[in-house]
Structure 1
């Protein structure tokens, strides 16, 4: 993602993370996991602090990692306004090669399907190795991705998909995606259109951004994790611990660090 697009994407991300939507259920899952395992916790791809702040509100120390200085600035202000500045440290770094000095952790989480932003195997391996370095022995890495049902992806290709309406003060933001698939490299090229409307329904501005996601198949993730020294402890088909099966739309993974032989 180009740095010149960062203000636009930060705007959208902050509207999205502050609204009620299908992903709100992941906050409960990650907060309960953090309470069960204990802190401190690393959140990778923390953005404007949606999950990090929720975990910190439970009294758990959090390190939020993101490449975007602009998103971290917003996250810090939100945490400070809630009196949580002492519970969260913000780290500007890439998730492929981050470094939180001085300690290892019992839990690393990656919400918001952020693993899909690793668009090649090299980046996936680099991120997993960095995560493993930061985990205690037996520590857990928890993340989630969408399940790439090829028929559904093919049906969405070349079409506009309405993603929802999100509040922005008194205004609203409407979001549409247009997707093109590179099936050889498993890349979804998404053009995201956002349009802002005032309370009278008048269009105030329109913006277009480009996003790339690399979708990953369940068996592929299992191999990647094994190669990098993890063992999958649990796989769920939802944040409510539903069994993972062929009909699942989401894959939630809990993998633990194992000793090298």
Structure 2
């Protein structure tokens, strides 16, 4: 794996082990009529399993590299463009001139929107692309006191796996840098390639920004944007949301 020059491949490696949400979305979409729109699809981690289960998905992402990677992965998996149609686009400003039975924003993609204005634009776009009473389903992390207390002085280890060469391994680390005035994490995603004896061969850092949103702030945003919140879960096992839950998983319905 080229951690320096192939961001989509690095993204896949970093997130491939997380599959809890796929079964959740499959279950939620069982009774949905019509095709599904996914916003912030990345490299198709959720899109492709949905398409393989017979769900017609239109999947949008702002990164051309991510979309190209998703298309290649889908083709290798035998998924046609009729089953999963990948599009380069910005969830804040797009018009597909069609409506869907459900809109998904998996894996905290909503949190890449760094202002209330951007968040409202994305939610209103979701509303306009939904059939009457269609579902909006998405997840964000829950900004608990413990999470926000991390001062970011040192990165923490997220993943540690063997490399392709004997004695080599890759590490994924994350470092928080909170700006609580604007509710933004100016974070760093760090990849390290280590050789025999733990010698560092390569280190690459990717800066990311995500915005956190509190429970009642999110509820207000949904209602302002024409949605009725239906469910709020704290896990993909459908545990009730608690103050200490890791996730906020929202299911909302388009109001006509």
Give 1:111's match in structure 2, choosing from 95, 100, 106. 106
Residue of structure 2 equivalent to 1:162:
157
Distance change >3 Å, CA 64–CA 187, structure 1 → 2: same
Residue of structure 1 equivalent to 2:94:
98
The answer to whether structure 1 residue 133 and structure 2 residue 135 are counterparts is no
Residue of structure 2 equivalent to 1:239:
236
Shift of 1:62: 0.5
The answer to whether structure 1 residue 89 and structure 2 residue 85 are counterparts is yes
SS at match of 2:139: strand
The answer to whether structure 1 residue 182 and structure 2 residue 193 are counterparts is no
RMSD, matched Cα:
2.1
| Residue ranges of structure 2 left out of the alignment (5+ in a row) | none
In 2, are the aligned partners of 1:175 and 1:192 still within 8 Å (CA)?
yes
In 2, are the aligned partners of 1:232 and 1:253 still within 8 Å (CA)?
yes
C-alpha distance in 1, partners of 2:26/2:163?
26
Between structures 1 and 2, the one with greater helix share: 1
Shift of 1:139: 0.3
SS at match of 1:50: coil
SS at match of 1:10: helix
Please list the CA deviations of residues 136-160 of structure 1 after superposition, one character each: whole Å capped at 9, or x if unmatched: 0100000011110134311343332
In 1, are the aligned partners of 2:14 and 2:159 still within 8 Å (CA)?
no
Please list the CA deviations of residues 74-103 of structure 1 after superposition, one character each: whole Å capped at 9, or x if unmatched: 1111111122113111110011112223x2
Shift of 1:7: 5.1
| Residue ranges of structure 1 left out of the alignment (5+ in a row) | none
Moved more, 140-149 or 163-172: 163-172
In 1, are the aligned partners of 2:71 and 2:86 still within 8 Å (CA)?
yes
Moved more, 193-202 or 52-61: 193-202
What TM-score results when the alignment is normalised by the length of structure 2? 0.91
Shift of 1:36: 2.9
Shift of 1:180: 1.3
C-alpha distance in 2, partners of 1:7/1:135?
37
Give 2:207's match in structure 1, choosing from 205, 210, 218. 210
What TM-score results when the alignment is normalised by the length of structure 1? 0.89
The answer to whether structure 1 residue 77 and structure 2 residue 72 are counterparts is yes
C-alpha distance in 1, partners of 2:37/2:197?
42
